[in-house]
Each structure stands twice: as structure tokens, then as C-alpha cells.
Structure 1
Amino acid sequence: MLVLKFGGSSVATAENMSKVVALAEAAARQRPTVVVVSALGGVTDDLIAAGHRAAAADASYRELLLELEQRHLGAVRGLLPITGQSSVLSLVKTHCNELESLCDGVFALGELSARTLDRLVSYGELLSSRLLAAALAARGTAHQWLDSRQLIRTDARHGHAAVDFTSTNPLIQTAVTGEVPLYVAPGFVASAPNGSTTTLGRGGSDYTAAIFAGALGAERLEIWTDVSGMMTADPRLVRAARPIPRISYQEAMELSHFGAKVLYPPTIQPVMRSGIPLWIKNTFAPEDAGTLVEVSPPANQAFVRGISSIGPIALLRLEGSGMVGVPGFSRRLFAALAREQVNVILITQSSSEHSICVAVSTPDADRAQQAANQEFAHEIRAGLLDPLDREDELAIVALVGEQMKNHPGISGRLFGALGQNGVNIRAIAQGSSEKNISTVIRQQDVRKAINVLHETFFEATTRQVNVVVAGVGNVGRKLLQQLQRQQPWLREKLRLNLRVVGLANSRHFVLEEEGMDLASWETALAAGPPLSLDQLTEEVLALNLRNTVFVDVTASAEVAQVYAKLLARSVAVVACNKVAASSEYQHYAQLKSLAQEFNTQFLFETNVGAGLPIIGTLGDLLRSGDEVQRMQAVLSGTLNFVFNTYDGTRPFAEVVRQAQQEGYTEPDPRLDLTGVDVARKILILAREAGYALEMHEVQNESFLPAACLQGDVPAFYEQLAAHEAHFRSLYDGAAAQDKKLRFVASFAAGQARVGLESVAPGHDLYSLQGKDNAVLFYTNRYVEQPLVIKGAGAGAEVTASGVFADVLRAAQG
């Protein structure tokens, strides 16, 4: 014997019902089969709505009933040949007339009792099962329609009746003898001892099928729906979710309790008691394997079977010193909630007995809070307890797996993954069986949390990283080119799915949750809304994507102001922009502290030396216990290029203009030539070395005449040309001693300075070529011979590569 249940989506249309007919006939050819059907998709909700409208004296219930009638009549016409329609159309019309009479009575009384509502909603399954039986009859398929109300006996608790299996099982066994190959029965409906119609509550049609399967000792129960089995996560939230091939009853119950809507916990009980396998299949893809729910699936399956969620919920917390060591508080709390018919979803209690916390469904929260405060009113007035604390807009995300108990570190991985993505856990519960680890988080973090956990436990080979880039000038363009070129390599070698989900320039921004096509980013950005940094930041945070990295490739102080808000939401920040790290020390320290507090990254390697690993090396020295005594450095690729190129044969102004044209300077070259940029860099290095230095404390000895600093950039070039003799004298003075001009930054004994120096042959800074940078670290370990880092310190390509490297560091945690 087989029992097949088809859900509302499977019978929603005549076309879908034809698929059900074919599947039922195919099963019946193998062995006797019982088919249980739900109402057509959405019909039960419409019937409930019609009843409530009638009770509220809203005459529009008639329009809703007419729509339901036309829908069922249309299904008849689409499902049956014309010659077989008449009697079925008449049957549908009769049922619909009964529905109208029922609602007219509710309208007249202005009251909708639970008993009347049960009778009202029962018509959905009665109609759908009659339609299916008629379709089988039209095809000449031998079958028998069964009225579940005559076979399933319950108590009189209307809306969620409890089944009397002692009476029910013999009735089913007598009715289903196997004399015909196929039986059709409505799900969801039953009857009370007095003969009134009852319903089996949420998931009632599944429950009906399980009752039949248990009573008949079926070979298996098949639940046919619109998905290919139970999934590792909700596919609406996780694109990479995949079907679970096999799962235990206990795991299925845990997943279904926490929101996996393919099954409902009561469904499993009758078949679980009898050890009957349950197979979840897809009506629209019957060739898919689906999910087999069984007593003992193979032990070599994944130790985490699935991730599920339920929400919205409210968290209710009872606290107070008066609870400590006093028995009975928990009993009183749960009794108060039970009296109000409030279901407790999750419970956790501190070991100090100072507080107890329960999660309830949000619609129940008001009644739960009122009941608890009334129950403990005396203790609250006496100051022994605080008034019940309530937190809303929460959800539960649960890891489920029977084998988790045999694998240490699961909880650690869960908490670590959520923490790295800024998902704060409000409460935790883990059963003693260790089949379920439940966390209470903000409702708005559910999508991110489930994706993070799915990636951690089911996609360990691939990590998705979502990048937002602000600034698409020379460096930004090169960065996007590098990202596009390296995407396949990153997926293959590092298992990183690195996607650019946002771009911004000074005029527009664009965000695309599924990732941008880097071959056409300019078109997408130009079509984006006008740039508002506040709006950009809020939308990035609202997307709430896992492993988000914000990349600032601007020189904007306004962009740097959004770092704190991003870091406080665990969004990593990679800054090519030097403004933040060279701002007031308090602000710099705050950003570093936020990154640490919210378990994310604030990286700015390219602030000093473009793509050279200077800041990273300094950090490695300090973390390994070394101490910096002094530093000496050439930190401006622009100035080094200028003084390597200028030899008096061409005007100094012309050499500076060449540096700007080749992309070695800031848009305003004075930022480079005045030494301000170098001062920022040595300030950043000093801070990274552990010194609380401010910008005004860096001594800057400018080599530019004061007149060069007046006016705009064209005026600057005019003044450079006018003071050519000054620059020529600087060059000649150094050349006469066989020395070279270098703009040197130095730090020692807590003091920093920048200025032009003449460097003798043999010095590490003497041989620098072109736009090279170099840093000399003198430390406790490198005393006589410094640790030297040298290489190209300017240029869009190398700077972009340094930003790229920081993005990868942020991505890998």
C-alpha cells in the first residue's frame, strides 16, 4: 500500500491536476494507492477571509465566494471532457451554494464560531478531492472516493482537533481494503464525536496522509509538493540551497518546527511510530530524487543536515534577584503562558537562575507579556523582579543535524561565522540531544545569517565576497580591471566568489545585489541615482550582504566619514584614501577599535608605498615582539620621480608636469611637492608603530618658495617656472658633492620630520630609481643593518594591486 499526498500548488490548476492524475495512476499500477489532496492553492485562505468578512458585516464576502466558484468551475472545464462535465459542474455549484448559505448565516448573526469556521474551510478539500475523482472517472480509472470525515475521528476542539487513533485506525482499515487500485480522500478534514466537521490544523492534509499511512501500515508515504525535497536552507533566501537526499525523522521534525514548510511536525508522528519511510517529491519534477525521511539514514551523511529559521518572534526575559534559589518561577511563568494558549518556541535560562528567557511568536507577544506581568505582579511591586523585558523584530535560526554531537567545534564555527558578519546573537539554546543549535537574532539579519551558515557548513570550498568600490578614477579603474581578470582564478585557486555589488563616483552610485557585470560597469554607474553618501551607506547596510568589503579609492574626507558606521556593522573597510588614518589620532584609534570590536577589518596598506607591503611588514614585526627604534623613508613616488628626472637640462616645472601627466601626482600636485602627503605617510607609520602622534607634530621642511603655494594649479606651474633658479641651485649643490636629492621622511624618539636631503652614495636611499619608494626599519632585531622594503611607490597599476591585496585579506578574515 502506498499513500500519496498532493499539496495546494500541485492541484492549483487544471493543468497541475492533470499531472497529479498521471502520478496517481502510475502509482496505482504498482500497488494499491491512497491519494490525499489539499484544497486548490490559496482556497483555504480565501474561505477563511470570506468567513471573517461575513462576520464583520462586510458584504464583499459574496464577491469572494463568486470568485471561488468560478475558479472551481473553470477547473472542471479545463480538466474534463465536455461530455463528463455536467454532473461535476452541478456538484461544484451545490457545494458553492452551501458555502453561500453558511456565510449568509454568519453575516446575519455577526459571529463566526470555531465550529462554523471548520465547516466553512472543509469545502476546499472536499471540492478538490471530488475534482480529482471526476478526472480519474473520465479516464476510466477504477477508484473510490472516501470521505475523511467518516474515517478520521477527533475530539471537538475545532480548528486544531486531536485525533482519536483508537477509533480512527479500524475505520480506515475497513474502508481501504485494496479491492480497487486507487482511493481518493480529502485532507485536513475529520469529524467530532457528535458528527460535526473538524479540521486538523496547520499542515492538516499532510497529517491526514500520515494517519492513513500509519493505519494501513503503508510501504511508504509520499508528500508531493512544488520543491524537490527538504532543502539545506530556504531556497528563497539561499541560492545555493540543495535538496537533502536522506534525513532522519528527528532531524526532519527539528527542521519543520523551525520553519521548513515542506513538512509540519504532527505529520511525522503516525509514520514515525510505525517506521514508515516518508518521501518528499516534486509534482513538477517527478524525476528528481527528492528527500527520503527514515528511521536511520546512513551515518556518512553530512553532520549538519540543514539550516532553518522561524520568525518574526519576540523574546521575553524575566529577571531579578528574587528568582535566585527560589523554586517554582519557571513553572509559574509557563503556566501563565499556557493559560493564554501561548506556545513557547525556545527557552534558555542563566546558570545563576537570575533570569529566564522565552521566545514566542510575535502575534502572541502582547498576551504573553500581559500574562507574565500579572502572574508576577506581587514580586515586581516588591522589587524582587523586574517587569518583563520584551524585544521584538527577532527570529530564530537553527542548525539541525543528528551527527553534530559527534563533531566538536560546531557551535564555535557557528558563532565565529555569524560574529565575523556582524550578526549579534540575542539568545542561544541547544538541546541535550545536540540535534539542534538555535540562535535568536534580528529579523533583518536572517537572510545574511542563513547564507553565512550555509556557506560555512555546506559550501566550505567557496566563500562569497561582496565588494563596494567608491572611486573609479585611475586607480579605481585599474582595480576593476584586475578584479575582472582575476575572478576565475580566485574561484579556482582560492575558492573565493568575489563580486562587485556596488560602485560610486562623485556623481552617481549603483548597487546590484547579485553582482555587477564588470565589462559594462560604466553604463550601469552612469544610469545610477545621484550620489548621496548617506544614501549609499544606508543602502549598503540595508542589503546586509555577508562578507561585505567597502573599498575607498578616493581622496575624499566625506567618504572617509562613513567608515565608522560601516565598521560598526561589521563591514570591512579597505582605504586607499589617507584621510582617515592621518586624521586626528582619536578618530584613527576609534576606527581601529571599531574594527576590533565588531570583528572586521580596517586595512589601508596603500596609504604608504602604494603596493609595497610596508604597513603589513611593520605589523608583523610588532606582533612578533619586535620594537621600532627609528624609521627613514622615501615615501613619495612623485617626488622621487621628479628628483630622479630633474637634472637641470629641462625646467623643473616641466618635469613636475610630466609626473602629473603620467599619473604619479595627486590632481593638485602641491599635495605631493609641499610634503603634506609624505607627512601623512610617516604619521601613519608612526601610529602603526604604536605612537599617538598628531599631524601638526610632524615637522615639514618645504623646499618650495612661498609664492608657489599661492593661487590655483595653473598659477602654481607659473611660479615653478619663475623660480627655476632656486630648483637649479638645489640640484647643483647636491651634484657638487656627488649626492642625490631625496625627499626623506624620518622618525626617531617619538619625533617625525619630512624634508629635502642630499643623500650620499652607499646609502640605501641613494640608488632609488624612477618612482621608487623605500622604507628603512631600524628595530631591536635590525640594529646595524635596517630591514629595507623598496619598490615602485606610485602608479595606478601598483596601487590598485595593493588595494586588491587588502580586499583579499579582508575577504579571508
Structure 2
Amino acid sequence: MKVLKFGGTSVGSSKNINKVISILDTYSKEGKVACVVSAVGGITDKLLLAGRQAQAKDASFNDTFETIKSTHFSIIKELNPENNEGILAYAEEKLGALHSLLEGIFLINEVSPKTSDKLVSFGELLSSYIIAETMKNRGLSATRKNSQELVVTNSNFTKAEVDYKVTNSNIKRYFESAEESITILPGFIANSALGEQTTLGRGGSDFTAAIVAAALKVEQLEIWTDVSGMFTTNPKMVKQAYPIKTISYQEAMELSHFGAKVLYPPTVQPVLDLEIPIHIKNTMAPEAVGTIISKDANGTSSPVKGISNISNIALLTLEGSGMVGIPGFSKRLFETLSNEKINVILITQASSEHSICLGIEEKDVEIAKTAIDITFENEIALHKIEPLTVETGLSIVALVGDNMKNHQGISGKMFSSLGKNNINIRAIAQGASERNISIVIEDSDVKKALNTLHEVFFESITKQLNVFITGVGNVGERLVEQIRQQKKYLKENLKINLRVTGLSNSRTMVFDESGIPLKHWKSLLADGEKASLQGFFEKSKALNLRNSIFVDVTANADVASLYANYLRESIAVVACNKIACSSDFANYKELKRLSLKYNAPFLFETNVGAGLPIIDTLNNLVASGDKVTSIQAVLSGSLNFVFNNFNDSTKFYDVVKQAGAEGYTEPDPRIDLSGVDVARKILILARESGVEMNLEDIENTSFLSPSGQESGTVEEFYKTLIADETHYQALYASAKTKNAQLKYVAKFDNGKASVGLQEIPEGHPFYNLEGSDNIVMFYTERYSQQPMIVKGAGAGADVTASGLFADIIRLGND
């Protein structure tokens, strides 16, 4: 004997019902089948709506009724294009009775629990009859048995309690004599011992199926729905979620209690003692394996089986010094809620007994607060306790697994991963069984929390990074291309799933939560919305994605001023923009502080030396306890390119233009040629070595002509280069007579820093520096005689992009 149950979605259309019939036909070839069905999808809600409308004297209940009627008539005609008169007649009769009931409710202005049970029973009565008669029309051995004739309950309407002794006897007796291969049973509905129509409460169709399965002691109960089993978490919020193959009864009940919609918790009870497995299957994909719920289902290496969530939760907090050591407070509190029929979903109490926190459904808040304040009115008046505190807009997220108690560090991993993503935990509850760790968080953080926890416990080998890039000019474009080329490599070899989720230039910006298709990013960006620095930040914040990284590929002070905002939202910042780290020392320190406080890395390796590991090397020296005594460096790839290509047979103007065309200088070359860029770089190195210093403290000796220094625009500046060619030729001639090379050198020594053009003699480490290469010599207490040297390409779009990319990858490896 097989017992199957099909939910509302499974019987929600003629197309789906045909799939149900096909499954039942296949099963019936192996033996007899009992099939419990729900009402057609959405019909129960419409029945309740019509009842509320009628009760409120709202004549639109007639419109809702007509929708219910047309839905059923359409399904009947689609399933039975011919020979449908009998089914239509039954439906007409039942729907007539329904309309009469609604008219009665309209007249008396009331829906009692008893009337409500009668009202909603029409859904299952209609669906079960339609399915059974359709099967008969197709020549299948099928019948419909009204569950109200089998399942007997008390008179607790809307959530009746089953009389198992009578019910089990009725079920056994009926199926012992049943001749048809397939018996269709309406779920959810029953009759009291007095013959009154009752219902089994929310999820009652699952419950009916479990009752039948337990009474017949079948080998397995199958619950057919519209998903392929119980998932590791909500697949609508976490794309990487997947079905759990096996799970224990207790784990299934915990997940269902905390929001997993596939199974109604009481369903488990009738089959629990008999250890009858429950198999969750997908009507739309019958071949899918699904989930088996059984007594012992520990066939997995992961201690965590699933993550579930409940939204629209309110947190009630009762606290006060008058509670400490006084018995009875908890009893009075829970008794008050019980009297109001308010379900408590989560409880947590401080060991000091100073406060009790409760999680309830948000819809019950007003009733709960009023009742509790009345109960403790005297204590509140005497200031022994505070008036009840209510917080709304919350959700519960629960981590569930039988084996969690045998693994150390589960809660630590849970809380640290959420903390790194700026998810604030408002309350925590963990049972003594350690099967469940529940937390209360903001509703707005649920999606990020589920994705974060799923990645940690179910995708631990792969880390997803969500990157938002501002500035897709020369360097930014190369960065996007490098990411596109390396995406597959990163996933396969470094276990990093890198997605570009936001892009912006000075005109437009575009976002895609699931990742911008990088093959088409240019056209997508061109068609994007109008760009706004604040808007880009607000959108990045609103998406609220885990492991978010903001990448600044500009030289814009306004962009740099927003770093603090990103860090406060636990969004990491990666920047080649030097303005922030060379700004006022107080701002530099504040960014460092925010980075630590909000667990949001702030990386700026490309501020000095493009892709060279200069800052990383310096940080490692300092972290290992070494002390920097002196730094000597050529830090401008732009200036090095200029002076390596300038001689007495070239013009300084032409070389500067070439440097700009090849991407070695900023659009405004004065930023590079004035030495300000180099000054910023040595300032950043000095600060990273532990010295407090500002830009104005650095001595900057300019090599530009007086008119070049005073030029007001870029165009005027280029004109001065032509006019003052003799000035620049004189610099070259002076170095040549000494067999020296012109290098723009940055120095830091004894707490002082300077930058300026120098004539480097032959034999000096800087002398043979070619092209746009940079070189840095660190003299430290450990490297006092022979410095630590870092040398290589220090400018250019590709190497700068690779430096930014390296910082992004570093975050993925953290």
C-alpha cells in the first residue's frame, strides 16, 4: 500500500493535475494507492477572503465566489473536454451550497470557527471529486472517499484534535474492503464525534496523509509538492541551495517550525512513533530524488543540515531589577500570552533573570503588549519592571542539525561570518539539545544572512565576492577584462566566485545582483541609469550582498570622501586613488579605525608602485617587529618614463605627450610632474611605517619652470613646456656632464620626507632604472646595511589593474 499526498500547487491547474494522474497511474501498477489531495492552489485563501468580505457586509464576496467557481469549471472542462456533465453537476451543487453559506454570513454579519471550518472544506471536497471522477473517465480504477467519514476529531474548530482510536479503526476497515486501485481522499477536513465539520489546522492535508499512513502502517509516506525536497535553505533567496537527501524527523520539525514551508510540523507526529519515513517529492519533476525524512538520517559529513527563516517577527522584552530572584514572573508572562492564544516562537532569558525576550508574530504585537502591560501594571507603576519593549521588522534565522552538538565552533563560525558582513544579531536562542541555534536579525538582512551562512556551512570551499567598481576608464576597463578572463580560473583553483555587481563611470551606472555579464558590460553600462556617487553607494548598500567590495579606480576626491560610508556598511574598499590615504592624518586614521571596527578591509596597494607589493612588504616588516629607519625610492613610473625618454635630441613637450598617450600620466600631467603624486606616495609609506605626517610636511622641490608651476589650465601648461624647452634641456645637460641620470627621488629619513629631481651617479641602484619602473629601498633595523629592495613596473593600466585585482583576490583568500 502506498500513501501519497499532493499539495495545492500540484493540483493547481489542469496541467499539473494531469501530472498527478500520471504519477498515480504508474504507482497503481505496483499495488493499491491512497492519495490525499489539497484544495486547488489558492482556493482556500479565496474561500477565507470571501468569508471576511461577507462578514464585513462587502458585496464583493460575490466576485470572489465567481472567481472560485470559474476556476473549478475551467479545470473540469480542460481535464474532461467530453463526458463532464456529472462532474459539473456535482460542482454546481457544492458551489451553490457555498454561495448560500456566504449569503448567510453576509446576513448575520459573523463567521464563527464552526462556520469557518464548513466554509474552507469546500476546497478539498471539490478538488478530490474532480480528480477522482477524471480518473474514472479515463478508465482508471479510482474512487473518492470523503475523509470526513474516516477522520474523527473533537469539536475544537479550525484546529481539531484527532481521536486516533476511532480514526485508525475507520481507516483500516475501509481500506481492507476497498476494491479500487486508487482512493482519492480530501485532506485537511474531518468530522467531530457529533458529526460537525472540522479541520485539522494549517498544513492539515499533510496531517491527513500522515494519519492514513500511520493507521495503515505503510513503509513510507510520500509528500508531493512543487519543489524537489527540503532544501538546505530557501532557494528563492539563495541560488546555491540544494535538496537535502536525508534528514531526521527532529531536524525536519525544527526546519519546518522556523519557516521551511515544505512540511507542516505536526505531520511528523503520527508517523514518528512508527518510524515511517516521509519522502518529499516534486510533482513537476518526478524523477528528482527528493528528501527522505526518517529516524536516523546522518548520512552527511556536515554537522548542519539546513538553515531556515521566519519573517515578520516582533521581539518583546520584559526587564527590570524587580524580576531578579522573584519566582512567578515567567509563569505570569507566558500565561498571559496563552490566554490571548499568542504563539511564542522563540524565548531567551539572561542568567541574571533581569530580562526575558520573546519572539512572536508581528500581527500579534498590539494584543500582546496591551495584555502584558495590564498583567504587570502594578510592577510597572512601582518601577520594579519597565513597560514592555517591542521591536518589529525582524526575522528569525535558524541553523539546524542533529550533529551540531558533536562539533565545536559551529556558533563561533556562525556569528563571526555574520559579523564580518555587518549583520547585527538582536537575540540568540539555543536549546540544550544543541540541535538548533536561532538568532533574531533585521528583516532587511535576511537574504544576506542566508547567503552568508549557506556559503560557510554548505559551500565552504567556494567564497563569493560581490564587486562594485567606480571608474571604468583606462585602468578600470583593464580590470574588468582581467576579471572576465580569470573568472573560471579563480573558481576552479582559488575557490573564489567573483561577480561584478555594479559598474559606474562619470555618466552612467549599472547593477545586477546576480553579476553583470562581462562580455556585454560596455553596452549595459551605456544604457544604464544616470551616474551619481551617492546613488552608487546607496544602491550598493541597498543590495546588501555578502562579501561586498567597493573598488575605486578614479583620482576623484569626492569618491575618496565616501570610503567611510562604505566601511561603516562593512563593505571592503580597494583603491588606487591616493587621495584618501594622503589626506589629513586624522582622516587616514579614521578610515583605518572604521576598517577594524566594521571588519571591512581597506586595501590600497596600488597607491604606491601600481602592481608592486611595496605596501604589503612594508606592512609585513612592521608586523614582524622590524622598524623602518629610512626609505629611498623612485615612485613615479610616469616621471621615470619621461626622464628615461628625454634627451638632447627630443623635446620635453613631446615626451610628456607620449607619456599621457600611453597611460603613464593622469589626464592632467601636472599631478605627476609637479611631484605632488610622488609626495603622496612617500607620505603613505611614512604613515604605514608608523609615523604621523601630513602632505604639507613633505619638502617638494619642483623641477618645473616658474611659468609651468603657475599655469592655470592643462592647455596653458602644455604651452609652457614648449616655451620653456631650454629650461628642461639645461636639466638634462647638467646631468649628462656628470654622467648621471635624472630621477625623481622620494626620501624618508629620521621622521622627515622630501621629493625632488636628482642627478643619480653611475653605480647607484637607481641609475639603470628603465622605462616606467619603480624601485623602493627599505632600510630597517634588520636591513641596516643592505636594504630590502622592491623593483619593477610601477605604472601602466595593466599593472595597476593587476594590483587592484590582487587586492580583490586577497580579500577572497581571507
Q: Please state which band the TM-score falls in when normalised by the shorter chain.
A: over 0.9
Aligned to 1:22: 22
Question: Which residue identity does 2:409 align to in structure 1?
Answer: G
Contact 2:246 2:299 in 1 (8 A): no
Q: 1:638 to 1:351 in 2, by over 3 A?
A: same
1:726 and 2:727 correspond: yes
Contact 1:461 1:495 in 2 (8 A): yes
Contact 2:605 2:613 in 1 (8 A): yes
Question: Which residue identity does 1:263 align to in structure 2?
Answer: L
Deviation of 1:681 after TM superposition, in Å, equals: 0.9
Question: Which residue identity does 1:773 align to in structure 2?
Answer: N
Aligned to 1:749: 750
Question: Which residue identity does 2:572 align to in structure 1?
Answer: A
CA distance in 1, matches of 2:528, 2:377: 57
Contact 1:32 1:178 in 2 (8 A): no
CA distance in 1, matches of 2:670, 2:15: 74
Give the alignment of 1:757-768 within 5 angstroms: 757-768=758-769
Deviations 1:245-279 (A, max 9, x none): 11110111011111111101011100112111111
Deviation of 1:301 after TM superposition, in Å, equals: 4.9
Give the alignment of 1:237-256 within 5 angstroms: 237-256=237-256
Question: Which residue identity does 2:122 align to in structure 1?
Answer: Y
3-state SS of 1:429 partner? strand
Question: Which residue identity does 1:580 align to in structure 2?
Answer: A
Question: Which residue identity does 2:576 align to in structure 1?
Answer: C
Question: Which residue identity does 2:248 align to in structure 1?
Answer: S
Aligned to 1:152: 151
Aligned to 1:787: 788
1:529 and 2:529 correspond: yes
Contact 1:699 1:754 in 2 (8 A): yes
Deviation of 1:113 after TM superposition, in Å, equals: 1.4
Contact 1:549 1:811 in 2 (8 A): no
Deviation of 1:141 after TM superposition, in Å, equals: 2.9
Aligned to 1:778: 779
3-state SS of 1:781 partner? coil
Deviations 1:170-217 (A, max 9, x none): 222222215323222111111223322111111010011111111221
Contact 1:260 1:308 in 2 (8 A): yes
1:695 and 2:687 correspond: no
Q: 1:264 to 1:108 in 2, by over 3 A?
A: same
Aligned to 1:434: 434
Aligned to 1:614: 614
Question: Which residue identity does 1:513 align to in structure 2?
Answer: E
Contact 2:238 2:450 in 1 (8 A): yes
3-state SS of 1:545 partner? coil
Deviation of 1:774 after TM superposition, in Å, equals: 1.2
Equivalenced residues, count: 812
Deviation of 1:150 after TM superposition, in Å, equals: 2.3
Contact 2:136 2:143 in 1 (8 A): no
Aligned to 2:173: 174
The worse-fitting range, judged by mean Cα deviation, of 488-497 and 415-424 is 415-424
CA distance in 1, matches of 2:324, 2:726: 86
Q: 1:485 to 1:369 in 2, by over 3 A?
A: same
Deviations 1:613-658 (A, max 9, x none): 0111111111111111121111111111222222222222222222
Contact 2:557 2:580 in 1 (8 A): yes
Give the alignment of 1:327-338 within 5 angstroms: 327-338=327-338
CA distance in 1, matches of 2:298, 2:613: 50
Deviation of 1:142 after TM superposition, in Å, equals: 3.0
CA distance in 2, matches of 1:197, 1:617: 78
Contact 1:419 1:599 in 2 (8 A): yes
Aligned to 1:123: 122
Deviation of 1:385 after TM superposition, in Å, equals: 1.9
Contact 2:607 2:681 in 1 (8 A): yes
CA distance in 2, matches of 1:23, 1:118: 30
3-state SS of 1:30 partner? coil
Aligned to 1:810: 811
The worse-fitting range, judged by mean Cα deviation, of 622-631 and 154-163 is 154-163
When normalised by structure 1's length, the TM-score is 0.97
CA distance in 2, matches of 1:26, 1:317: 55
Question: Which residue identity does 1:722 align to in structure 2?
Answer: A
CA distance in 2, matches of 1:208, 1:270: 10
Q: 1:153 to 1:631 in 2, by over 3 A?
A: same
Q: 1:624 to 1:207 in 2, by over 3 A?
A: same
Question: Which residue identity does 2:129 align to in structure 1?
Answer: R
3-state SS of 2:692 partner? coil
CA distance in 2, matches of 1:700, 1:339: 79
Deviations 1:126-157 (A, max 9, x none): 00111112112213333342222222222222
Aligned to 1:423: 423
CA distance in 2, matches of 1:323, 1:475: 63
3-state SS of 2:345 partner? strand
Contact 2:191 2:198 in 1 (8 A): yes
Deviation of 1:603 after TM superposition, in Å, equals: 0.6
Give the alignment of 1:203-602 within 5 angstroms: 203-602=203-602
Contact 2:5 2:205 in 1 (8 A): yes
What 5-or-longer segments of structure 1 have no aligned partner? none
Aligned to 1:132: 131
Deviations 1:538-581 (A, max 9, x none): 11111111211111101111112222121111111111111111
The worse-fitting range, judged by mean Cα deviation, of 258-267 and 406-415 is 406-415
Deviation of 1:300 after TM superposition, in Å, equals: 4.2
CA distance in 2, matches of 1:651, 1:14: 82
Q: 1:118 to 1:509 in 2, by over 3 A?
A: same
CA distance in 2, matches of 1:468, 1:178: 68
Give the alignment of 1:586-735 within 5 angstroms: 586-709=586-709, 710-735=711-736
Question: Which residue identity does 1:671 align to in structure 2?
Answer: I
Contact 1:37 1:185 in 2 (8 A): yes
The worse-fitting range, judged by mean Cα deviation, of 264-273 and 738-747 is 738-747
Question: Which residue identity does 2:593 align to in structure 1?
Answer: S
Q: 1:605 to 1:127 in 2, by over 3 A?
A: same
3-state SS of 2:536 partner? helix
CA distance in 2, matches of 1:592, 1:17: 61
Deviations 1:7-35 (A, max 9, x none): 11111122222222222233233232211
CA distance in 2, matches of 1:51, 1:334: 32
3-state SS of 2:739 partner? coil
The worse-fitting range, judged by mean Cα deviation, of 631-640 and 39-48 is 631-640
Q: 1:461 to 1:329 in 2, by over 3 A?
A: same
CA distance in 2, matches of 1:629, 1:338: 72
Deviation of 1:338 after TM superposition, in Å, equals: 1.4
CA distance in 2, matches of 1:707, 1:416: 58
CA distance in 2, matches of 1:559, 1:109: 66
CA distance in 2, matches of 1:179, 1:713: 95
CA distance in 2, matches of 1:590, 1:367: 46
Question: Which residue identity does 2:396 align to in structure 1?
Answer: I
CA distance in 2, matches of 1:484, 1:144: 60
Deviation of 1:465 after TM superposition, in Å, equals: 1.3
CA distance in 1, matches of 2:318, 2:767: 71
3-state SS of 1:158 partner? coil
Aligned to 2:112: 113
Contact 2:133 2:143 in 1 (8 A): no
Structure 1 runs of 4+ aligned residues shifted over 6 Å read none
Aligned to 2:102: 103
Aligned to 1:90: 89
CA distance in 2, matches of 1:465, 1:718: 47
Contact 1:238 1:450 in 2 (8 A): yes
Q: 1:22 to 1:652 in 2, by over 3 A?
A: closer
When normalised by structure 2's length, the TM-score is 0.97
CA distance in 1, matches of 2:257, 2:3: 23
Deviation of 1:6 after TM superposition, in Å, equals: 0.7
CA distance in 1, matches of 2:646, 2:178: 104
3-state SS of 2:488 partner? helix
CA distance in 2, matches of 1:359, 1:278: 30
Contact 1:102 1:120 in 2 (8 A): yes
Contact 1:81 1:138 in 2 (8 A): no
Contact 1:258 1:310 in 2 (8 A): yes
CA distance in 1, matches of 2:499, 2:55: 53
CA distance in 1, matches of 2:808, 2:596: 17
3-state SS of 1:59 partner? coil
